[in-house]
C-alpha cells in the first residue's frame, strides 16, 4: 500500500512537471519586438517595431518609415526568439537612473500579446527580465540580427 502511494505521488509530480515544462516551451503564434529610446536634452523619441509578419515600422520624432522584411530573415529572428525561452523567466527590479535629461531605452518582446521587458533602463526603478547567461548570449545574437535590419536598434542598445 505504501509503495502504491509513493508511485502515485511520483506519477503526479511527473505529470505536473511535464505540464510546467510544456507551458514554459509553449509555441507562440505571433510576436512583436519593440525597441525604443527617449529622453535627453534634445528630446529624443525613437521607436522601432518588427512583427512576425515581417512589418518593420520606425518612428523618429513623429516621422514614420515602414518596410517589409523578407521571410528568411524573419524565420532567423523567430528561431532566436524561441531560443530565448522567455515564458517562465523571472523578472527583477533594476534601479532607475534618476537623471532628468538621461536617455532611456527599452527592448520588449511580445509573444501572443504578453509583454516581456527584456532589457533597458528608465528614470524610475523598473522590472526587467533576469536573464540567464544562455539567454543573454542568445539575446546578443538576436540584437546582432536586428542590427542588420538597417539600424533597428538605437546605438546605445547595440553593444
Q: Where are the domains of the chain?
A: 30-153
Quote the CA–CA distance of 16 and 128 in Å, as a whole number: 28
Extract the C-alpha cell encoding 99. 537623471
User: pLDDT value at position 104?
Assistant: 86
Number of helices (H), then strands (E), belonging to the chain: the values are: 3, 8
Of the chain, the percentage scoring pLDDT greater than 90 comes to 47
User: pLDDT value at position 61?
Assistant: 80
User: pLDDT value at position 129?
Assistant: 92
3-state secondary structure of 14: helix
The CATH number corresponding to 30-153 among 2.60.40, 3.30.2010, 3.40.50, 3.30.1560 equals 3.30.1560
User: pLDDT value at position 109?
Assistant: 97
Amino acid at each position: 500500500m505504501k509503495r502504491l502511494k509513493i508511485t502515485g505521488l511520483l506519477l503526479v509530480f511527473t505529470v505536473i512537471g511535464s505540464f510546467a515544462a510544456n507551458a514554459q516551451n509553449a509555441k507562440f503564434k505571433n510576436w512583436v519586438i519593440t525597441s525604443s529610446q527617449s529622453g535627453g536634452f534634445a528630446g529624443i523619441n525613437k521607436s522601432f517595431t518588427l512583427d512576425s509578419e515581417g512589418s518593420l515600422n520606425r518612428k523618429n520624432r513623429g516621422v514614420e518609415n515602414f518596410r517589409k522584411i523578407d521571410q528568411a530573415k524573419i524565420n532567423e529572428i523567430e528561431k532566436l526568439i524561441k531560443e530565448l525561452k522567455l515564458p517562465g523567466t523571472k523578472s527583477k527590479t533594476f534601479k532607475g537612473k534618476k537623471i532628468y535629461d538621461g536617455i532611456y531605452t527599452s527592448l520588449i518582446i511580445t509573444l501572443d500579446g504578453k509583454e516581456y521587458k527584456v532589457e533597458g533602463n528608465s528614470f524610475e526603478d523598473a522590472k526587467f527580465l533576469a536573464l540567464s547567461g544562455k539567454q543573454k548570449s542568445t539575446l546578443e545574437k538576436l540584437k546582432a540580427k536586428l542590427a542588420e535590419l538597417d539600424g533597428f536598434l538605437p546605438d546605445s542598445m547595440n553593444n
